[in-house]
Chain A
């Protein structure tokens, strides 16, 4: 190996971006093609610096747009190597065309998405608009709540995506600024352990195998397109979640940190719970604990894997809860919130009598405070006591002006 290893302390203080960059270094990414955008730029800057300091052997291509960044990643992945990049918000939106192409070509690329609001109005802070924008793109979507998880899930994402049975690209989402720029103590793996976990990249159908020429990115019409897309969907629905669970187990053996498709907190006897994603999960957990002291049996369900959507785990997690709030951190733009819809869809044919309501919060980086959550849990408890949803189904948290409530 022609690169130097890094001596890491048992506990390092890294923000989410640096954590993702370190994971990319330890996985020894071959090619990164990237274009900078706030707040995810430090990830690829980190990779470039590691390259400049001799901690990686690879190539960093600074391209001229996010669309080209993913295009270059697709070309590099098809050539047969480990590829990753990072983006946010508008950059993610510009990438969307190529995201569909990457997953349709079954190329295991890892994309770090540092979640940020979509313009207009222009905003650099965190919400989940870009994560939801990519939810139909055929990518596996992980969600990290903290820098530690951003680091862990990056390593996990490579192992899942590059499996020859899966061969699908994966995104690792973390909240812009709230996670990406918040430094916390975290426990990294050693370089050797991390690389051994991710493993040597094993190419498949690579363009640089000249003895076996391949044609990537063909055209299919009504005679074949349906089968291709159905097979892709089938693999997402049947192969990916079991594989993720398997990798979670491997990772726990290595690090002692346990991950689940759906992260349950205080759910064993909960009457009320919120379902949410990103850094809010940690705030909600803290408030839920405090609510118990006030006699309200509160729990929290965090979505760890948004795509493929863990239907059965959601049904299982919510089966005994009396009132649930789905927290969406993106504008519903003329519908119910995304999580609300998916949870409602999952519960519809079950015996669940859960009272489901939806809350929109935190757009453009607006804080979700503990006070907001206390009120929310109290509202859910009022629903339980009344035996029906006492408010409108969709409400907005912390927006100024008259109270917004719909449906």
Chain B
């Protein structure tokens, strides 16, 4: 068991490690790099990382450069989770055989993937890793769209959002389907820990990541990652958007322990209307036309319902 890193304040935390360089090709205002740094800085232990094909991968490992000062692998779109699971298995074997070069280290195994690579194409791979009980953490950088390929809808894209493959048009309000509840699905594997996190609530995030590293077994983390390019907001407003997402409860922060025990980890003092969250983004612009106003109300109802459900589950302690 390794030491849990003590974290005093944001300034100290943000400069406490430098395993992910600022030198990368991510869009200005991208939340991915913020989330990655928060994860990597949450531990002093060595890391074995992987990334699925997507924004994070194509922006941080373009030969002959790399932004990663830790062991890192990318195979394909679907299999970042299995790549790290393979490395974790090899670690166990070499430890048993006494063939590790630094046997005293306690590496942590983390895979990163976007929502497309987790909700859709990599779903089966992640499910397999969760079921097999690898000692690893899978982190979804959830920006609710295939951003790397130019903004196509994924099963994480929420209803009413305009994506290139479900565009809003003269007779359409865009995406017709509701967002998939992946945290519940993954928690249903009975894994020790599943949680939703947001980059703006960094203390909550660090606590969850550290808890995830401390437990033995697979951990699933879904991180909201506001996308300046596809959500269509000003690059300087990334954290503001993350605040809107968490404070409007569109993206509630909670954790599920051992597949059933749910704790809400953040209760906004002032819950803001969902309308404010939608109004801040270009992808929902068309919802403010008269004929689609009803969708905003539906949005609000759905968010309220989900929040009530989370609270009921928390109270029930089941």
Q: How far is the CA of A191 from the CA of B102 in the complex (A)?
A: 29
Contact A217 B86, beta carbon cutoff 8 Å? no
Query: What is the CA–CA distance of A224 and B68 in the complex, to the nearest angstrom?
Result: 20
- Residues 107-125 of B at the A interface (beta carbon under 8 Å): 107, 124-125
> Is B74 engaged at the interface, CB distance under 8 Å to the other chain?
yes
Residues of B within 8 A of A68 (CB): 79, 82, 124-125, 128
The complex places the Cα of A143 from the Cα of B89 at a distance, in Å, of 30
Decide yes or no: A61 and B89 within 8 Å by CB, A209-B101, A210-B102, A211-B102 being known contacts.
yes
The 8 Å CB contact of A76, one of B78, B89, B132, is: B89
A163 within 8 A of B: no
Assess the A33–B74 pair: CB atoms within 8 A.
no
A79, B46: Cα distance in complex, Å:
13
Q: Is A73 in the interface zone, CB < 8 Å from B? A: yes
A216 in contact with B72 given A64-B127, A208-B48, A221-B62 (CB within 8 Å): yes
A127, CB-defined interface residue at 8 Å: no
Q: How many A-B residue pairs have CB under 8 A?
A: 167
Q: Is A290 an interface residue (CB 8 A)?
A: no
Q: Considering only CB atoms, which chain A residue lies closest to B62 in the complex?
A: A219
The distance in angstroms between the C-alpha atoms of A58 and B78, with both chains bound, is 26
**Residue A393 is within 8 A (CB to CB) of chain B in the complex:** no
Q: Which of A78, A98, A220 contacts B62 (CB 8 A)?
A: A220
Interface residues of B, count at CB 8 A: 48
- Which residues of chain A from 236 to 256 have any CB-CB distance to chain B below 8 Å in the complex? none
Interface range on chain A (Cβ under 8 Å from partner): 35 or more
Please judge, given known A-B contacts A98-B79, A217-B61, whether A75 and B87 are in contact too, CB under 8 Å.
yes
Q: Is B90 an interface residue (CB 8 A)?
A: yes
Q: Which of A61, A77, A211 contacts B85 (CB 8 A)?
A: A61
For B68, the chain A residues whose CB sits under 8 A away are: 213, 215
CA of A214 to CA of B86 in the docked complex: distance in angstroms? 16
User: Smallest CB-CB separation from A73: which chain B residue?
Assistant: B86
Chain B residues contacting A211 (CB-CB under 8 Å) are: 101-102
Interface stretch among B92-100, B289-297, B299-307?
B92-100
Say if the beta carbon of B202 comes within 8 Å of chain A. no
CB distance from B61 to the nearest CB of A (A): 4
CA distance A61 to B75 in the complex (A): 18
Residue A271 is within 8 A (CB to CB) of chain B in the complex: no
Q: How long is the Cα–Cα vector from A72 to B83 in the complex, in angstroms? A: 5
A71 interface residue (CB < 8 Å to B): yes
Within 8 Å of chain B (Cβ to Cβ): is A74? yes
| A31 and B79 in contact, given A209-B101, A213-B68, A218-B74 (Cβ under 8 angstroms) | no
Residues of B within 8 A of A59 (CB): 89-90, 92-93
Point out the residues of chain A lying under 8 angstroms from B132, CB to CB. 61-63
Q: Which chain B residues lie closer than 8 Å to A98 at the CB level?
A: 75-76, 79
Tell whether, in the assembled complex, residue A74 and residue B83 are in contact, meaning their CB atoms are under 8 Å apart: yes
A-B contact pairs, 5 of them (CB 8 A): A64-B125, A81-B94, A217-B61, A224-B64, A228-B63
